Structure 1
Amino acid sequence: MCAAMAFTLSEIMAARRQQQQTQRGVRGVVEVDEYSANPTQAFTFYNINQGRFQPPHVHMVDPLPHDTPKPPGYTRFVCISDTHSRTDTIQMPYGDVLLHAGDFTELGLPSEVKKFNDWLGTLPYEIKIVIAGNHELTFDQEFMADLIKQDFYYFPSASKLKPENYENVQSLLTNCIYLQDSDVTVRGFRIYGSPWQPWYYGWGFNLPRGQALLDKWNQIPDSTDILLTHCPPLGFLDWVPRKMQRVGCMELLNTIQRRVQPKLHVFGHIHEGYGMMTDGTTTFINASACTVNFQPMNPPIVFDLPNPRSS
């Protein structure tokens, strides 16, 4: 094993104590992980010393066939992400609530947002919930403020926009509930949405790994039933084969497993990670519609949850 992957006995024992707490279901305070800056190393460390990402407690799940009857007393969630203005050919299944985990445009241009909103208006779901992703540049006001000051145009179409053309871009989403570090309760389920991600080239909603992202995840309420983020947590549908790297967020994983423990976590961002996994408490869905080549080939994933009992 190379030096970068060598771990001390104290590190191993600390990792095992953390794993025991997680297995007992103890909800604790989440701190920045010592391996936060290197997700691939973090995955290796925790897999070797905890078996944290190994069966039987962590395993893949086959998506539910779209024609499966919904059980009585359940709500069917239709999960999709990373449609990138390519919705024309996507066949949408029956369901009650649509969850879109971001990257619904190429650059967040107002014309793209309007097109997406028009598409949402054609869908029959009772409730539609949407978050932004790194491609929704105009939804990240600080990003746009910096972009238009640059002498070169990294994103020409977006950087030439005038502020008055995008400062209220969220208001164009009239056919859905838009969440940004906020929550909504529908059908008794508390749903929280957040667009942030570990720094990814020069796109929107980027934050450094570690405390900056943890500060965002700390806003997620403990009582969240469904978590909607654009980025994946470490080790769950976050593998990028062409780079041989894990790219998920360590702090997001720890927040989910050690504190929030939602029933469902829906995300996208990593097109190659499309699919479902579970750790026995949370079902993780990477709902990326587009493949790595930006072809909308992956069908939406449906998931049924029993309706909460009214008190």
Structure 2
Amino acid sequence: MAGKENDISPVVIEVHPNTKEPQKAWAKIKAQVKVKDVQPVESSKWWSDKCVRFVCVSDTHVRLEKKKSVGSSVIPDGDVLLHTGDFSMRGWPEEISLFNTYFGSLKHRVKLLIAGNHDMTLDPKVNSHDIVKKSRDLLTTFTYLEDSFVTVYGIKIFGAPWVPTCGCWGFTLSRGRQLLDHWNLIPNDVDILMTHGPPIGYGDKTLFKKHVGCVELLNTVQRRIKPKYHVYGHIHEGYGMRTDGQTVFINASVCSKHYKPVHKPIVFDYPLPEGHTKDEILDLAITSVTADANK
């Protein structure tokens, strides 16, 4: 497996004193971290059998489907497609079916999906068990992750949909302890992290130039998990690829603030871990995490 070895002593992340005031928190944090823009891989560039090509999208909001564009003309080819949520506007069955059919036409061998706050019918805290099950059963094209992970070609990929409370939507939690309790579920040896919302400081600035990302998510990523890639969306204006020198942060929002699909999918190549080939049989068994998953 490509995952990192766990630290000898566990890293404990505490709630930041300014967690509920992200703008003030970032003013204190920004001098201690590096934020550098990164250029994605050109989607037309050939990739070898020694690399796994990942194609990242988020916040498509059924806009590609409703434009009736051909999926392969918008979403570049690759080995693994990552969608980090808000594939719908409300999670209605007709939206899910349209999404599932559209992305099902793509040739990526693996397609992984997490929900976003708009995908409300997938949230058991908002809807009945029956509605959630029917909604998830419609997602036949994707492997759906929610506080869970899969291993693809020896690469451990974890998905979590949670975002700071932002009105009457799905998968929202209060800043601070509630969100941190979920981030604490993420194992230390994750290679690629998928969340719907961004960490503070990396593609989380709104149209009004305010940082709204999660402080505890950034601290968890930088100090404990240290994944090679962190992919998300939610803040459409934050689209782009950045690095702190350790992790590459990708805001893959396809739609603009006004829900127009103006941003290209973001592509990166991941070196194929030793002992794996792209011809191997893939076991996409989903592992859900528990409170002691990172111990």
**TM over 0.5: same fold?**
yes
Q: Is the 8 A contact 2:123 2:132 kept in 1?
A: no
Q: Is the 8 A contact 1:138 1:144 kept in 2?
A: yes
Q: Does 2:49 correspond to 1:69?
A: no
- The aligned amino acid for 2:147 is D
The one of 97, 114, 118 equivalent to 1:131 is 114
User: What pairs up with 1:122-161 in 2 under 5 angstroms?
Assistant: 122-144=105-127
Q: Does 2:280 correspond to 1:310?
A: no
Report how many aligned residue pairs link the two structures.
263
Q: C-alpha distance in 2, partners of 1:239/1:93?
A: 27
Structure number with the higher helix fraction is 1
Q: C-alpha distance in 2, partners of 1:247/1:226?
A: 22
- Equivalence for 2:138: 172
TM-score normalized by structure 2?
Answer: 0.85
- Equivalence for 1:198: 164
Residues 79-111 of structure 1 deviation map (CA, whole Å, 9 limit, x = unaligned): 000000112336111210000000000100111
Q: Is the 8 A contact 1:139 1:169 kept in 2?
A: yes
Runs of 4+ residues deviating >6 angstroms: none
Q: C-alpha distance in 2, partners of 1:33/1:255?
A: 11
Shift of 1:53: 3.8
- Equivalence for 2:198: 232
- Equivalence for 1:283: 248
Shift of 1:71: 3.8
- Equivalence for 1:263: 228
- Equivalence for 2:96: 113
- The aligned amino acid for 1:69 is W
- The aligned amino acid for 2:110 is I
Q: C-alpha distance in 1, partners of 2:49/2:107?
A: 20
Q: C-alpha distance in 1, partners of 2:131/2:230?
A: 33
Go from structure 1 to structure 2 and tell me whether the alpha carbon gap of 1:165 and 1:142 turns closer, same or farther (over 3 Å shift): closer
Q: C-alpha distance in 1, partners of 2:32/2:63?
A: 36
Q: C-alpha distance in 2, partners of 1:258/1:272?
A: 26
- Equivalence for 1:103: 86
The one of 63, 66, 81 equivalent to 2:58 is 81
Shift of 1:166: 4.4
- The aligned amino acid for 1:235 is G
Q: Does 2:265 correspond to 1:300?
A: yes
Q: C-alpha distance in 2, partners of 1:142/1:299?
A: 33
Q: Secondary structure at the match of 1:298?
A: coil
User: What pairs up with 1:38-53 in 2 under 5 angstroms?
Assistant: 38-47=21-30, 51-53=31-33
Q: C-alpha distance in 2, partners of 1:273/1:27?
A: 32
Q: Is the 8 A contact 1:27 1:260 kept in 2?
A: no
Q: Is the 8 A contact 2:188 2:224 kept in 1?
A: yes
- Equivalence for 1:222: 188
Q: Does 2:216 correspond to 1:251?
A: yes
- Equivalence for 1:19: none
Q: C-alpha distance in 2, partners of 1:165/1:33?
A: 36
RMSD of the alignment, in Å?
1.7
> Runs of 5+ in structure 2 lacking a partner?
1-8, 277-295
User: What pairs up with 1:11-26 in 2 under 5 angstroms?
Assistant: none
Q: Secondary structure at the match of 2:82?
A: strand
Percent of pairs with identical residues: 47
Shift of 1:72: 4.2
Q: C-alpha distance in 1, partners of 2:151/2:199?
A: 23
Q: C-alpha distance in 2, partners of 1:32/1:231?
A: 17
Larger CA Rg, structure 1 vs 2: 1
Q: C-alpha distance in 1, partners of 2:275/2:223?
A: 27
The one of 185, 200, 209 equivalent to 2:151 is 185
Q: C-alpha distance in 2, partners of 1:73/1:27?
A: 33
Q: C-alpha distance in 2, partners of 1:255/1:304?
A: 24
Go from structure 1 to structure 2 and tell me whether the alpha carbon gap of 1:27 and 1:257 turns closer, same or farther (over 3 Å shift): farther
Q: Secondary structure at the match of 1:246?
A: coil
Q: Is the 8 A contact 2:203 2:239 kept in 1?
A: yes
Shift of 1:170: 0.8
Shift of 1:138: 0.6
- Equivalence for 1:92: 75
Q: Secondary structure at the match of 1:239?
A: coil
